[in-house]
Amino acid sequence: MTAQQKKMVIGDFEKYMRFAVQQQQGFTLENFVSFATALVNFYAGSALITVEERSETATILLTAFNSGIGNQIDAQDLQQLTDLIISDSTIDYSILSPIFG
């Protein structure tokens, strides 16, 4: 991935995090995984990343999330979450609309 793509991913993650905190939705793992799945699939569907970059994108998002919760998720669980995120091909636009609106 390019530096510009990584910056885009982190920027969208930060928008999501701010929105979730402002709306008092909670910064939960379940909410995050739904967001990450939708975002990764949106990026791939919009040709902002390649299919091969889906895993790296999920890892970047998970690393940022994990940092935000004090690095409580270990490496093995991070890999399982990455696999979970990229195994789902759905896009929930209602999750993405606050960050792109």
pLDDT, residue 24, reads 79
Structure tokens at 83: 């696999």
Q: How many other CB atoms sit within 10 Å of the CB of residue 39?
A: 26
pLDDT, residue 20, reads 87
CA distance 84 to 68: 20
pLDDT digits (tens, 9 = 90+) for 20-72: 888 877 778 999 999 999 999 999 999 999 999 999 999 999 999 999 899 99
Prediction pTM value: 0.94
